[in-house]
Chains A and B, each alone.
Chain A
Amino acid sequence: MPVLNYLESINQALHQEMERDESVFVLGEDVGEFGGAFKATAGLWERFGGRRVVDTPMCEWAFIGLANGAAMMGLKPVVEIQFADFISTGFDPIVQYTATTHYRWGAKIPLVIRAPWGGGSCAGPFHSQCKEAWFTHCPGLKVVIPSTPHDAKGLLIAAIRDPNPVIFFEPKHLYRREKSEVPETPYTVAIGEAAIRREGDDLSIITYGAMVTEALDAAETLSGEDASCEVIDLRTLVPLDKETILASVRKTSRALIVHEAVRTGGFGAEVAALIAEEAFAALDAPPARLTAPDTPVPHSPPLEKAFRPNAEKIAARARELLAY
């Protein structure tokens, strides 16, 4: 089976879906001949032309609005936001129009918004943010954050085929670092299903995005200390795979929730509340969160390292929980 990196798998999914379905088109800043800031759309313009690979001016508000209208007319827009941080300039159409329309008057908006997301590249406050919680708080949006090239392809294809709007965050730290076996033929990974990346009995580490590999590294370290950790990759925040989370916590009796986003109002609070409400009796320790602190994302390497969770910090917090 071919081994692809994260970016290559995204690119392949776009090629294959555009090949399969004439109504799929891509739009955003620099996505055409230039191939996108990260080259995720490389080759699409040459293959499908400017009608289906649309370079836009800098106007997230308008091109997301355009995508809303085009989607209601039966097209399947795949919008690229150049950096997830910039999604705030197109926030209004997403949270007010895209999210509410099917509930309000029944029109489907089969729209995918892809955005390179998260830190780890010393890119500073405006090219590193994790704002998934802005969107998990908006009923009507699905929120997907794949952590492997295999899932990136399968979930992107599933998102394009979904009749609902999907916010698709891609941990850009993994773009060229993470490689996995990716089948050449198109396939889907179901939206709304978490993956158990490592089985264990003593502690459930529940995470997503670029923190999955960090959690797996931490679990490996801890296995040398005779602690068995289960690592759950949520993959989708909305809809949330509550069953997998609860079954794991009921088995291990301890839960550590890890994310790269800042703490207050972060998605980890939702998972912690779920566990406290639904699995309280099974717990041997309070559900714990390991997150970035409540600060903007700093630039300098020592500051960003202090800001972002990593395998070492996860292992340290896990040891505390295991000793509780």
Chain B
Amino acid sequence: MSPDLINEHSNEKLLDLLYWMMLTRGVDDRSEALFKQGRFPGSIFSQDGHEAISVGSSIVLEEGDAIAPMHRDLGSYLVRGMSPGRIFAQAMGRTGGPSRGRDVNTHGLGDLSLRIFGYVSHLPQSMGVALGAAYSFLYRGEDRVAMTYFGDGAASEGGCHEALNLAAVLDAPIIFILENNRYAFSTPLEKQCRIENLAIRAQGYGIPGVTIDGTDILAVLDATREAVERARSGAGPSLIECKNLRLKGHAIHDPADYVPAELMEYWKARDPIELFRERLEKNGVLDETTLSSLRSRVENEIEEGVRWAENSPWPEPGTLEEDVFA
């Protein structure tokens, strides 16, 4: 926990952070319900346990910055302006989603007007893509940064090494957020590498790397802010490893029964939203009235989003072969 950090933010800012995490959880919970009702074809990825990372990092960005999130970063999409309605429409396969029925769940949930890059399943490809955005800022002499995410799983891919090294060589204004949730689908961290903290790899690229508690949104925000300032000042990339646990399966079909019960219990007691809520209450920032108004605000947005998505038309089969080329 980061006791000193709470004093650095206004009450309004702290409640804003709670709101974005609650909205993320709310959209995720509703997605699970809609999937079980058969209204989401395909599959969905749980966000539980990742909300502090996606919200706490993306909230630091400014207008014009670019972001390339992955499948555990629903909070980043929401914070950067992707509406719940468009997210639901994408999962339903409706034309209201950014891919207009072509891509599934959070894949391809991109919108250049928001400077959000859609990802492909082949993680960590977003590292290269975000690096390209960062290079475009250098190229044009713009005071902007790019941010991207990858997991402990993708950290074993060769491309991860290439991207970190190339970013370092170019002094690119980019922040790499490593979400170390201890599992690549069913493969535990011990079978993926011989180190506990992946951020020590940053030293091998000559860039700063820190390991922080990924359940503590203020710690995430603080580390990200430092990295963003560093990138914006021209000092190059940073790696931030946020440690947490995926509190559900890889995707909705996965019961995650390979996770030892005691490990799951340990991390469930560290649910990032519950931790932050308790902390705000303890510090007199949040009371029952404020919490219930936040809850209804979130609920209303979700209801409105679902309605909007369900009113969005299905794609016409006749459009199947359109847009392969620009």
Contact = CB atoms under 8 A, between A and B. Distances in A.
A181 to B, nearest CB: 32
Contacts of B111: 105
Contacts, number: 140
B112 A107 contact: yes
Contacts of B158: 61
Given A59-B165, A107-B112, A65 B103 contact: no
B163 interface: yes
Given A62-B163, A65-B129, A69-B117, A106 B136 contact: no
Interface string A263-277: 000000000000000
Contact of A64 (B66, B108, B128, B146): B128
Interface string B162-179: 110110011000000000
A164 B163 contact: no
Contact of A102 (B109, B139, B170, B325): B325
A88 B134 CA distance: 25
Contacts of B128: 61-66, 68-69, 93
Contacts of A77: 132
A54 B107 CA distance: 31
Interface string B197-212: 0000000000000000
Given A65-B129, A72-B117, A140-B324, A104 B136 contact: no
A125 interface: no
A107 B131 contact: no
A74 interface: yes
Interface in B89-148: 98-100, 102-103, 107-112, 117-118, 120-122, 125, 127-136, 138-139, 146
B48 to A, nearest CB: 26
A108 B326 contact: yes
A68 B132 contact: yes
A296 interface: no
A139 interface: yes
Interface in A1-42: 25
A66 B326 contact: no
Given A105-B110, A108-B326, A164-B326, A69 B122 contact: no
Contacts of B170: 54
Bin the interface of chain A by size.
35 or more
A51 B122 CA distance: 29
Contact of B325 (A56, A62, A96, A164): A164
A141 B112 CA distance: 20
Interface string B285-326: 000000000000000000000000000000000000001111
A316 to B, nearest CB: 39
A72 B109 contact: no
A96 B132 contact: no
Nearest to A23: B139
Contact of B120 (A51, A67, A96, A103): A96
Interface centre among B66, B121, B162, B323 (most CB of A within 10 A): B162
A69 B131 contact: yes
Contact of B131 (A66, A74, A75, A140): A66
A70 interface: yes
Contacts of B139: 25, 51-52, 70, 75
A64 B166 CA distance: 11
A65 B125 contact: yes
Contact of A57 (B66, B117, B120, B165): B165
A221 interface: no
Contacts of A69: 66, 68, 117, 128-136, 146
A71 interface: yes
B118 A107 contact: yes
A47 to B, nearest CB: 16
Contact of B162 (A62, A100, A106, A110): A62
A71 B165 CA distance: 21
Contacts of A301: none
A67 B127 CA distance: 12
A57 B132 contact: no
B94 to A, nearest CB: 14
A271 to B, nearest CB: 20
A188 interface: no
Contact of B108 (A61, A93, A104, A140): A104
Given A66-B128, A107-B118, A59 B133 contact: no
B117 to A, nearest CB: 7
Interface string A138-174: 0110100000000000000000000110000000000
Nearest to B133: A69
Contacts of B188: none
Contacts of A106: 98-100, 112, 323
A65 B122 CA distance: 12
A92 B125 contact: yes
Given A69-B117, A72-B133, A73-B66, A102 B166 contact: no
A97 B103 CA distance: 13
A244 interface: no
Contact of A92 (B112, B134, B159, B323): B159
B165 A62 contact: yes
A107 B120 CA distance: 13
A180 interface: no
B120 A100 contact: yes
Interface of A: 25, 51-52, 54, 56-57, 59, 61-75, 77, 92-93, 96-97, 100-108, 110, 139-140, 142, 163-164
Shortest 3 CB-CB contacts between residues of A and residues of B: A65-B128, A69-B132, A62-B162
Given A104-B102, A104-B103, 13 more contacts: A59-B162, A59-B165, A66-B129, A68-B132, A69-B128, A72-B132, A97-B129, A101-B118, A103-B324, A104-B99, A105-B102, A163-B326, A164-B326
13 contacts: A61-B159, A67-B132, A69-B68, A69-B128, A69-B131, A69-B135, A73-B133, A102-B324, A104-B118, A106-B323, A107-B112, A110-B326, A140-B325
